[in-house]
Structure 1
Amino acid sequence: MPVPETNYATDLALLTDAAYRAGEIALRHFRNAPQVWHKPGDAGPVTEADLEVDTMLREYLTAARPDYGWLSEETEDDTARLATKRVFIVDPIDGTRSFIEGQETWSHSLAIAEEGKVIAAAVFLPVRDRLYGATLGSGATKDGTLMETSQRQGLTDAHVLATRPNMEAQHWRSLPRITRHHRPSLAYRMCLVAEGRYDAMLTLRDAWEWDIAAGTLIAAEAGATVTDQRGAPIRFNAPDPASDGVIAANPTLHSAIRGALR
């Protein structure tokens, strides 16, 4: 039997409560010399806070929705998720390096996908007590206020969130004249596009689903077009849970970015 759309809001309420709980755990470790390990294969650092948050989220969320699958950066993947109608897609701390360095712009990124599409999403920045949320078809909010993307129409002088390697000449037909910005959390970058503080974000390297699932819905519900770097829609809960890059911007600017890329 199909799951009725009316419970999107209850799923968002669950994610929001879980995000606040995650923030309480993470803040106990923040700027308090958390233990740090380095993942094999140069996959980046992980802290005791990441692992504690991951354990809490997995236990809390799957207890509330035992029929949902689970995909998290800090949990060994279980292909059983592929057989579920809905799946939690979670990054316990998005921006772990920022967290270790004592910066403020790390986040908790929580989403629920249904048959490839994200239907509920929450991104929470505990240090700033800032919450972004969205449900499919109902708009996106920042601390309860509806958001809308920038309406900039062209790339020239656009403010774009991207790492420096993305702006190297080999990626572009003609290198655009933009103002480049950076934030360590991909989820937060997508939320900043959603609220119109920046005109676009892009990454041309593979992006893990847990980094982008929540931000994809939040940006899209604020009016952005969100695709992979080739312009294809991003499907979630894939066997290989990574997207071929991400571009998020209002539809006209998104088209301009795609046209400028090689």
Structure 2
Amino acid sequence: MTETFQGTDPSQLDDHAFAVWAAEQAGAVLLEVRAAADERGLEGKALKDAGDAAAQEVLARVLGEHRPDDAVLSEEAADDKVRLEASRVWIIDPLDGTREFSEPPRDDWAVHVALWQDGDLVAGAVAQPALGETFNTGTPRQVPARTADRPRIAVSRTRPPAFVEALAAEIDAELVPMGSAGVKVMSVVRDLADAYVHAGGQYQWDNAAPVAVARAAGLHCSRVDGSPLVYNEDDTSLPDLIVCRPELAEEIIAFVRAHGTD
């Protein structure tokens, strides 16, 4: 993945390309951690922890070196409140989908790198290293016309929420189980699903980069009540979202407003 940037000074990359480069640097290290897991005796929680630590170290280092004036909000680091006064904040999830990462050869885990600037997301990349792809805002996917007869809703493979099952019944949709939040959003970008609807609790780093990429691809992104997704807030919780094809948004939001998410 990273061959594209060989010989390039990352400090000179624009923010879109830098997000890709940074996500792929972390992704390459995660693949190395996974490949060496048997030799190091890593499995389960130990493999998850090793992946989190390795990817955080890479992203912290490259951001500190090549974007030293920017603030950072990361799942794997203490929340430095200086970000609340900063005009540029990188919102990162070094390893989204630790469960799937710890279950080789699953590919439904990701690295999230997003840039918030002056009130909104302006760049982002979601790397799926085991898939060999990085979805990004610099060269966004153009989502093709829907190919499925019934709407497909991406859901957790371990704990699909009951309200989404009720939504699926209401709009005659099929539920498609898969791993990380980023992978679920990218499944809509990739036309593997038509919507991802979540209300079980997330944080800004879980969806900032995926939402930036999904917006660039022309998808609808909002809270489940239709209100905007807001980032770099003091409270890092961002518990619910909808990412879907624009033609499904009104119907999904109307269902949630009528029935709630309990």
Seen in structure 2, the aligned counterparts of structure 1 residues 174 and 190 have a Cα distance that, compared at 3 Å, is: closer
Q: State the partner residue of 1:180.
A: 175
Contact 1:160 1:198 in 2 (8 A): yes
Conserved? CA contact 1:186–1:211, under 8 Å: yes
Whether the 8 Å CA contact 1:93–1:106 is kept in 2: the answer is yes
Amino acid at match of 1:12: H
Displacement, 1:197? 2.5
| Structure (1/2) with the larger helix percentage | 2
SS in structure 1 at match of 2:130: coil
Superimposed CA distance per residue, residues 86-114 of structure 1 (whole angstroms, 9 cap, x where no aligned partner): 11111111100001111111111111111
Indicate the residue corresponding to 1:41 in structure 2: none
CA–CA distance in 2 between the matches of 1:94 and 1:202? 17
1:128, CA displacement in angstroms? 1.5
TM-score by length of structure 2 reads: 0.82
Matches within 5 A, 1:106-121: 106-121=109-124
Alignment match, 1:18: 22
Residues 24 and 134, structure 2, Cα contact 8 Å, conserved in 1: no
The residue identity in structure 1 corresponding to 2:42 is: P
Q: Which amino acid aligns with 1:256?
A: E
Q: CA deviation at 1:182?
A: 2.0
> What's the secondary structure of 1:243's corresponding residue?
coil
Deviation for aligned residue 1:174: 6.9
Answering whether residue 259 of structure 2 is matched by residue 226 of structure 1, we say no
1:207 matches 2:202: yes
Consecutive unaligned residues of structure 1, counting only runs of 5 or more, are 1-6, 39-44
Superposed counterparts of 1:33-44, under 5 Å: 33-34=41-42, 37=45
- The residue that corresponds to 2:80 in the other structure is 78
Matched residue, 2:4: none
The residue that corresponds to 2:153 in the other structure is 160
What amino acid is the match of 1:15?
A
Measure the CA separation in 2 of the matches of 1:209 and 1:232. Answer: 15
TM-aligned CA deviation for residue 168 of structure 1: 3.8
C-alpha contact (below 8 Å) 1:209/1:241 kept by paired residues? yes
SS at match of 2:124: strand
Query: Aligned-pair distance for 1:180?
Result: 0.2
The alignment status of 1:242 with 2:259, answered yes or no, reads no
Q: Aligned residues: percent identity?
A: 25
Residue 47 of structure 1: how far off its partner (Å): 1.3
Aligned-partner SS, 1:97:
helix
Of 246, 249, 257, the residue aligned with 1:251 is 246
Aligned length: 240
Is this contact kept in 1: 2:91–2:205, CA < 8 A? yes
Letter of the 2:255 counterpart: A
Alpha-carbon distance in structure 1 between the residues aligned to 2:94 and 2:219? 25
Match of 1:56 in 2: 58
Distance 1:56 1:173, change over 3 A: closer
> Among 24, 29, 33, which residue is 2:33 paired with?
29
In 1, Cα distance between equivalents of 2:150 and 2:108: 24
The answer on whether the counterparts of 1:149 and 1:249 sit within 8 Å (CA) in structure 2 is no
